[in-house]
């Protein structure tokens, strides 16, 4: 084998692993081997994995905490739903609708990202976090007051109620707090998987490029970066908008997997859930975040076995994992022996931006 850069080797390993996992899952799923429950989780997992990659770009690589990422997801979700519903009059091809929805979702979420990013990225730390939280809530509140419908004469919009849409025998797409109902269920596993690949490739490219080095340098020492003439604002905004666009794509994929979505779904709790993926996977460790997203979506379903204690157990697992991975003594008890056992099976990854060890 020719000498490859460690990052390239690590990326090839990841793409290979992803492809194998996907092929196996796809075959098993189509063969009906996987239970209905897990099979129904596959597309949401794709969406959440993309969300995890997206937030990792902001939190891990840019180093800014965002507590409102679900807001961008909802912008993508609702604009994607409107696009797909409007396209129903044009084409019957579900995949085409889905791709258009994802593209439109990405564009709108990117616009939202820019609107939020321009004023906000001059703040730091917890203050930035709280402003992103505020934006997430504002987006939710606005969407709760959006009424959008489509009839033969085109799209109608109102902020009052469905009656003021002035439609003639049309279809209400977004009905305020009731959200979008009657969404075409067009999301497919293959598109979901391709979306993961796109998000991962984009992130890997950014981190391993000149831009990425600038961004990571901003994370590690902003003042030093400024002093060598790199425009902090530009790179910060660029990363943030890219991250928002990814969230928008994930949102569109997510929404078109259901017949109904409500603005309430994309609240603070969902933002936090996505943050948990990132922190659990290791801040800045994109692959870890992807695995953590998968595990944390499946976990509550597995915990259905414990009935009433389900969410209690979920909380306990969350706390224990955080303690066992972050406390040296606790780690010595379980993880190090386990690492000795499993460690040889897992190849060492390149230094591709692992901030947290």
Partner 1 sequence: MNFLNSLIGGISLGSIYAIIALGYTMVYGIAKMLNFAHGDVIMVGGYVCYLAMFNLGLPAIPAILIAMAVCTVLGIVIEGLAYRPLRQASSLAVLITAIGVSYFLQNAALLIWGSNPKVFTSVINIPAKSLFDGQLVIKGESFVTVSVCIIIMIGLTLFTRYTRAGKAMRAVAEDKGAAQLMGINVNFTISLTFAIGSGLAAIAGVLYCSAYPILTPTLGSIPGIKSFIAAVLGGIGSIPGAMLGGILLGVIEILSRAYISMELSDAIVFGVLIIVLLVKPTGLLGKKIREKV
Partner 2 sequence: MKKIVALLLVLVMACALFAACGEKKSEGSQSDKPAGEVKPFVIGGIGPLTGGAATYGNAAKNGAEIAVEEINALKGDVQFTLYYEDDEHDPEKSLNAYNTLKDKGLQILLGTVTTSPCIEVSAQANADRIFELTPSASSTDVLGGFEDESGNITIARKDNVFQMCFTDPNQGIASAEYIKTNNIGTKVAVIYKNDDAYSTGIYQKFISQAAKVGLEVVSITTFTADTATDFSVQLADAKNNGADLVFLPIYFEPASLILAQANSMGYEPAFFGVDGMDGILTMKNFDVSLAEGVFLLTPFSADAEDEQTKNFVSTYQSKFGEIPNQFAADGYDTVYALYNAIKKGNLTSDMTNAELCEKLIGIFTSADFKFDGLTGSGVTWATTGEVSKAPKAVVIKDGVYVGYNG
Which residues make up the interface to partner 1 (CB under 8 A)?
59, 65, 119-120, 122-124, 126-127, 130-131, 133-135, 137-138, 140-142, 144-145, 223-224, 268, 272, 275-276, 279-280, 283, 308-309, 311-312, 314-316, 318-319, 322-323, 325-330, 356
88 belongs to the binding site for partner 2 (CB under 8 A): no
Q: In this chain, which stretch among 12-20, 88-96, 213-221, 337-345 interacts with partner 2, using CB under 8 A?
A: 337-345
User: How far is the CA of 276 from the CAs of 58, 66, 136, 273, 297, in angstroms?
Assistant: 14, 12, 17, 5, 11
Q: At what angle do helices 94-120 and 69-87 cross, to 10 degrees?
A: 150
Instruction: Provide the edge-to-edge strand list for the sheet that holds 180-181.
Output: 154-158, 147-151, 171-175, 180-181, 260-261
If the CB atoms of residues 66 and 97 are measured against partner 1, the closer one turns out to be 66
How far apart (Å, rounded) are the C-alpha atoms in residues 7 and 205? 10
Least Å from the CB of residue 74 to partner 2: 13
- Residue 299 interacts, among partner 2, partner 1, none and using kind-specific CB cut-offs from 5 to 8 Å, with partner 2
SS3 content of the chain, % helix, strand, coil (to 5): 70, 5, 20
Residue closer to partner 1 (CB basis): 96 or 273:
273
Inter-axis angle of helices 6-30 and 36-56, nearest 10: 160
Q: Residue 334 interacts with partner 2 (CB under 8 A)?
A: yes
CB of 299 to partner 1, least distance (A): 12
**Candidate segments 62-70, 99-107, 170-178, 187-195, binder of partner 2 by CB under 8 A:** 170-178
Q: State the Cα–Cα distance between residues 328 and 336, nearest whole angstrom.
A: 10
Site for partner 2 in 7-66 (CB under 8 A): 35-37, 39-41, 44
Strands 260-261 and 171-175: unpaired
68 makes contact with partner 2 (CB under 8 A): no
CB 113 within 8 A of CB 243: yes
Q: Which is nearer to partner 1, 101 or 276 (CB)?
A: 276
**Nearer to partner 2 among residue 210 and residue 307 (C-beta):** 307
**Smallest gap from residue 8 Cβ to partner 1 (A):** 29
Among 12, 259, 272, 332, binds partner 2 (CB under 8 A): 259
Distance of CA 75 to the CA centre of its chain: 12
**Residue 225 or 252: which CB sits closer to partner 2?**
252
Out of 82, 167, 186, 196, the only residue in the binding site for partner 2 (CB under 8 A) is 167
Strands (E), the chain: 147-151, 154-158, 171-175, 180-181, 260-261
By CB neighbour count within 10 A (0-12 exposed, 13-18 middle, 19+ buried), where does 50 fall? buried
280 binds partner 2 (CB under 8 A): yes
**Distance in Å, CB of 37 to partner 2, minimum:** 4
| Cα–Cα distance for residue pair 303/145, rounded to 1 Å | 36
Q: How far apart are CA 327 and CA 136, in angstroms?
A: 32
| Rounded-to-integer distance, Cα 149 and Cα 328, Å | 56
Stretch that binds partner 2, among 52-60, 119-127, 243-251, 301-309 (CB under 8 A): 301-309
Residue from the set 9, 88, 222, 264 that interacts with partner 2 by CB under 8 A? 264
Q: Which is nearer to partner 2, 236 or 287 (CB)?
A: 287
> Considering CB distances under 5 to 8 angstroms, the limit depending on partner class, which of partner 1, partner 2, none binds residue 40?
partner 2
Tell me the number of residues near partner 2 by CB under 8 A. 76
Torsion from C-alpha of 291, 238, 69, 208, nearest 10 degrees: 10
Cβ distance 191 to 22 under 8 Å? no
Determine which residue in the list 111, 134, 295, 355 makes contact with partner 2, applying CB under 8 A. 295
| Residue 282 interface partner, choices partner 1, partner 2, none, CB cut-off 5-8 Å depending on type | partner 2
The two beta strands, 147-151 and 171-175, are antiparallel
């Amino acid at each position: 084998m020719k000498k490859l850069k460690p990052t390239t080797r690590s990326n090839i390993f990841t793409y290979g692993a992803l492809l194998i996992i996907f092929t196996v899952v796809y075959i098993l799923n189509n063969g009906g081997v996987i239970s209905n429950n897990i099979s129904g989780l596959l597309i949401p997992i794709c969406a959440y994995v993309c969300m995890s990659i997206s937030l990792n770009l902001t939190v891990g690589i840019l180093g800014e905490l965002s507590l409102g990422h679900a807001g961008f997801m909802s912008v993508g979700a609702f604009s994607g739903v409107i696009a797909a519903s409007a396209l129903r009059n044009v084409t019957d091809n579900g995949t085409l609708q889905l791709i258009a929805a994802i593209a439109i979702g990405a564009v709108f979420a990117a616009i939202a990202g820019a609107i939020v990013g321009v004023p906000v990225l001059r703040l730091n730390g917890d203050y930035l976090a709280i402003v992103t939280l505020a934006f997430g809530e504002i987006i939710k509140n606005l969407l709760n007051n959006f009424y959008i419908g489509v009839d033969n004469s085109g799209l109608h919009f109102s902020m009052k109620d469905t009656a003021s849409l002035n439609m003639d025998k049309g279809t209400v797409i977004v009905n305020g707090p009731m959200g979008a109902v009657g969404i075409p269920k067009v999301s497919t596993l293959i598109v979901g998987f391709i979306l993961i690949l796109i998000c991962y490739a984009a992130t890997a490219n950014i981190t391993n490029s000149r831009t990425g080095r600038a961004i990571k340098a901003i994370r590690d020492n902003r003042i030093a970066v400024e002093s060598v003439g790199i425009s902090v604002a530009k790179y910060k905004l660029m990363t943030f908008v890219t991250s928002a666009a990814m969230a928008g794509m994930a949102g569109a994929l997510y929404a078109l997997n259901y017949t109904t979505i409500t603005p309430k779904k994309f609240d603070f709790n969902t933002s936090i859930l996505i943050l948990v993926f990132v922190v659990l996977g290791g801040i800045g460790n994109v692959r870890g975040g992807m695995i953590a997203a998968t595990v944390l979506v499946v976990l509550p379903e597995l915990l259905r076995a414990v009935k009433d204690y389900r969410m209690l157990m979920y909380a306990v697992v969350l706390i224990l994992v955080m303690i066992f991975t972050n406390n040296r003594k606790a780690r010595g008890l379980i993880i190090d022996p386990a690492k000795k056992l499993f460690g040889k099976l897992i190849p060492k990854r390149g230094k591709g931006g692992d901030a947290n060890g």
